Amino acid sequence: MRHLMSPLDFTVGELNDLFDLAADIEANPEKYRHACSGKILATCFYEPSTRTRLSFESAMLRMGGDVIGFSDASSSSASKGESVADTIRTISCFADICAMRHHKEGAPMVAAARSTIPVINAGDGGHQHPTQTLTDLLTIRSLKGRLDNFTVGLCGDLKFGRTVHSLIHALERYEGLEFIFISPEELRVPDYITEELKRRHVAFEEVIRLDDVMGRLDFLYMTRVQRERFFNEEDYVRLKDFYILDREKMSHARADMLVLHPLPRVNEIAVEIDDDPRAAYFRQVQYGVYVRMALILTLLGIGIDK
Ligand code: NCD
């Protein structure tokens, strides 16, 4: 039995197979309409979510499976003091696979250790968000045809943003990647990540001004300042509008640069950018469903002839 805790749980070859499957699902959705009939997905979300939870549920429903779960810790027995380990042993009797989001780093790992069904980490605190990363990689592969030799700018809250941490981990395995981290001093990417990049001889630089690097980027991955992980409101208010991507800033970007964002967006991308052909964040949401469909099939060991 296999779980997904980190994007590194899959080798580059396994990721390619997963993305090929997602591409086949996109091209031939009717072939998969009953692929999960009789199977149940549990979504155990202890933290708010729109995209990730509904994307998982939509993925399962589009393959003929069923969905149970909770979307808020207060409506689960966690509010009575039940441990994650006990919850997952219970859920294992009800469902065939579980997607879990938790505010505590490592909680889905604790669950996986006690589970008798595959567990997918759907985001744990400020740590990892592997299925968002699978979504990001599938988007890049689908829109650019490859995953290597890019200059990737990551902008915003690089300290608390778990999507950023997961994406860097996943991309550092591909050839010719160069990262440009764009953040205020207070929201720099954590040292454990930059240390790892140095060890692996992956090129990166850290800057504060987006304008200085805009013209060099193949991708700009914008992120929301993670208000819920701040220790005080004052710091959040000071930093929340540090970057706002607008038409003027986009005029310095390359004609083929793509803007990604895991969403939800607050102020960091002006709505006027949504109609720019380089804005790929809503297409990214659609790829998220295909990749979660592929992931559910893979972890359940359901094979469909391509
Ligand atoms: C992200 C998350 O939950 O970390 N959202 C998502 O899953 N698409 C990003 C965010 O909340 O800013």
pLDDT digits (tens, 9 = 90+) for 40-62: 999 999 998 989 999 999 999 99
Q: What is the CATH architecture assignment of 130-284? A: 3-Layer(aba) Sandwich (3.40)
**Cβ-Cβ contacts under 8 Å for 61 (sequence gap 6 or more):** 67
The question of whether 144 is a catalytic residue gets the answer no
Closest CA to 219 of 286, 127, 136: 136
Instruction: Decide if 156 contacts 34 (C-beta within 8 A).
Output: no
46 alpha carbon to ligand 1 midpoint, in Å? 14
> Would you say residue 306 has pLDDT above 70?
no
Q: For 7-128+288-300, which CATH superfamily applies?
A: Aspartate/ornithine carbamoyltransferase (3.40.50.1370)
Does the pTM of the predicted model rise above 0.85?
Answer: yes
Instruction: Decide if 26 contacts 188 (C-beta within 8 A).
Output: no
Closest residue (by CA) to atom 1 of ligand 1? Answer: 262
Closest CA to 173 of 5, 21, 10, 2: 10
**Which residue, chain included where needed, has tokens 């938790």?**
102
Q: Where are the domains of the chain?
A: 7-128+288-300, 130-284
Closest CA to 148 of 218, 89, 226: 218
**Which residue, chain included where needed, has tokens 């992120």?**
223
Chain segment 80-135, per-residue pLDDT in tens: 888 999 999 999 999 999 999 999 999 999 999 999 999 999 999 999 999 999 99
240 lines ligand 1 (CB under 6 A): no
N-terminal to C-terminal alpha carbon distance within the chain: 23
Instruction: Decide if 72 contacts 45 (C-beta within 8 A).
Output: yes
Side chain identity at 226, as an amino acid letter? Q
Q: Which tokens belong to 191?
A: 């040292």
Looking at residues 195-207, what average pLDDT do you find?
97
**Which residue, chain included where needed, has tokens 């250790």?**
113
What pLDDT shows up at residue 77? 79
The question of whether 265 is a catalytic residue gets the answer no
226 alpha carbon to ligand 1 midpoint, in Å? 9
Chain segment 240-286, per-residue pLDDT in tens: 999 999 999 999 999 999 999 999 999 999 999 999 999 999 999 99
Which residues on neighbouring strands pair with residue 97, listed in sequence order? 41
Instruction: Decide if 4 contacts 121 (C-beta within 8 A).
Output: yes
Alpha-carbon span 32 to 12, nearest angstrom: 24
| Arithmetic mean of pLDDT over the chain | 96
CA distances from 279 to 205, 219, 224, 246, 269 (A): 24, 10, 16, 11, 10
Looking at residues 15-27, what average pLDDT do you find?
98
163 lines ligand 1 (CB under 6 A): yes
Q: Which atom of ligand 1 is nearest to the CA of 224?
A: 12
Closest CA to 170 of 4, 8, 11: 8
221 alpha carbon to ligand 1 midpoint, in Å? 13
Alpha-carbon span 302 to 291, nearest angstrom: 15
